[in-house]
C-alpha cells in the first residue's frame, strides 16, 4: 500500500507525539517510510533522499533510524548478520523474505495466533518472525 502524498504537518504531529524533535531531515526520513512501505535499509533511505537533501549524510540516516527505533516509531528487522531493514508497520505481524530477489512481505499474524504453540503460562511481550522462501514472481 504505497501512498503518493502525506502532509508534513501530519508527520510533525506524529514525531512530536513520540517525543522526537521534527527536524527537516527527520521529517523527510519518516515521510520516506510512509510513502514507500518497502522495509528499507539505511542505504535505500539515503539513496532515496540524497537528491532532496544534498547535505544529507549516511550518519544522519543511521542516527535518525536509531532514534526512531528507540522511540518505537519504527522497528528494526535483522534479516541476517549483515542486513537490517526497517518497518513502520506497528500492527502485530511477521515477515517473509524472498531469498532470490530480497523483497520483504508483511504477514498478518497476531500473538494470539502463536500463543497456543508455546509452553503453558508463557507470556508473549513481543515477537519477531522471519520466514524465508521464494516469492511468486521469482518462482516463475
CATH classification at residue 46: 1.10.10.10
Which of 21, 19, 15, 51 lies closest to 33, judged by CA?
A: 15
Phi, psi of 8 (to 5 degrees): -60, -35
Indicate the pTM of the whole model. Answer: 0.82
Count structural domains, the chain.
2
Is residue 31 domain-shared with residue 63, that is, in the same domain?
yes
Is residue 22 domain-shared with residue 82, that is, in the same domain?
yes
Taking only the tens place, the pLDDT of each residue in 3-59 is 667 899 999 999 999 999 999 999 999 999 999 988 999 999 999 999 999 999 999
Could you tell me the residue range of the domain that residue 101 belongs to? 91-139
Please indicate, yes or no, if residue 39 is contained in any of the structural domains: yes
Q: What is the 3-state secondary structure (H, E, C) of 92-109?
A: CEEEEEECCCCCEEEEEC
Is residue 105 domain-shared with residue 57, that is, in the same domain?
no
Please indicate, yes or no, if residue 103 is contained in any of the structural domains: yes
Amino acid at each position: 500500500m504505497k501512498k503518493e502524498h502525506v502532509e508534513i504537518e501530519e508527520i510533525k504531529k506524529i514525531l512530536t507525539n513520540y517525543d522526537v524533535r521534527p527536524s527537516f531531515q527527520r521529517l523527510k526520513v519518516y515521510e520516506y517510510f510512509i510513502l514507500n512501505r518497502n522495509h528499507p535499509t539505511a542505504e535505500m533511505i539515503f539513496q532515496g533522499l540524497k537528491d532532496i537533501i544534498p547535505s544529507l549524510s549516511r550518519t544522519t540516516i543511521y542516527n535518525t533510524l536509531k532514534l526512531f527505533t528507540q522511540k518505537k516509531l519504527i522497528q528494526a528487522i535483522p534479516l541476517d548478520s549483515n542486513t537490517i531493514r526497517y518497518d513502520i508497520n506497528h500492527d502485530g505481524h511477521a515477515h517473509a523474505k524472498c531469498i532470490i530477489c530480497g523483497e520483504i512481505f508483511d504477514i498478518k499474524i497476531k500473538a494470539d495466533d502463536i500463543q497456543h504453540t508455546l509452553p503453558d503460562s508463557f507470556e508473549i511481550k513481543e515477537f519477531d518472525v522471519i520466514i524465508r522462501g521464494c516469492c511468486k514472481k521469482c518462482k516463475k
